[in-house]
Amino acid sequence: MAAGTHFSGSYWSAIDAMRRNWGWYMALGIGLILIGAIAVAHAALATFASVMVFGWLFIIGGVLEAVHAGWRRQWSGFFIEMVVGILYAVAGFMLVTNPAAGALLLTFLIAWFLMLGGIFRIVASMTTRYHNWGWLLLNGVIGVLLGLMIWRQWPFSGLWVIGLFVGIDMIFNGWSLVMLGWLAREEGQPAY
């Protein structure tokens, strides 16, 4: 079987599976929209929950990395991997034991990331001037403005920004799944 034929077959089988399961896409999308709306409405609670999840992920990842390093003691990167694993676990422990301080720090980093990323996009759009460069410029300006808004309200913004961002992301992800399900449903309808 030719490579193109196999791709084409798997592509159409995936489309066919989407048509059959369009309701699940819509249900998942609606669920994400509802959870995202709750996260936006209770942004402080969602922020603390997110910080706790990040903390536990750091702890688990750090322990796994340290265990892996222990199994590979003969490896030349043993020491670095062990130190990184320990640092991950310690950072996770600090987030879990003090989620408010963790939220403040993460929010501060998000603000600076948005501002610096926005400045980079603005400079890149002004120096390259490729087709539709204005969208990159707009993206940069919005990034800088969001970063400044968060930074100017910091440390208060540390209590709600992460939860708000997670909620908004869930809402948009949910809408994209609803639209995907709707499209799959419409594509599966017989033509009259």
Structural domain boundaries in the chain: 25-187
**Is the predicted pLDDT of residue 93 greater than 90, yes or no?**
yes
Q: What are the tens digits of pLDDT across the range 22-77?
A: 888 889 899 999 999 999 999 989 989 989 998 999 999 999 999 988 888 777 77
Global pTM reads 0.64
Rounded to the nearest integer, the mean pLDDT of the chain is: 83
Rg (CA), the chain: 22
Closest listed residue to residue 28, CA positions, set 166, 168, 186, 181: 181
Mean pLDDT of 90-115: 89
Mean pLDDT of 105-120: 87
Half-sphere exposure of 136 (CA within 13 A, CB side): 16
The alpha carbon torsion through 39, 149, 58, 33 (nearest 10 deg) reads: 20
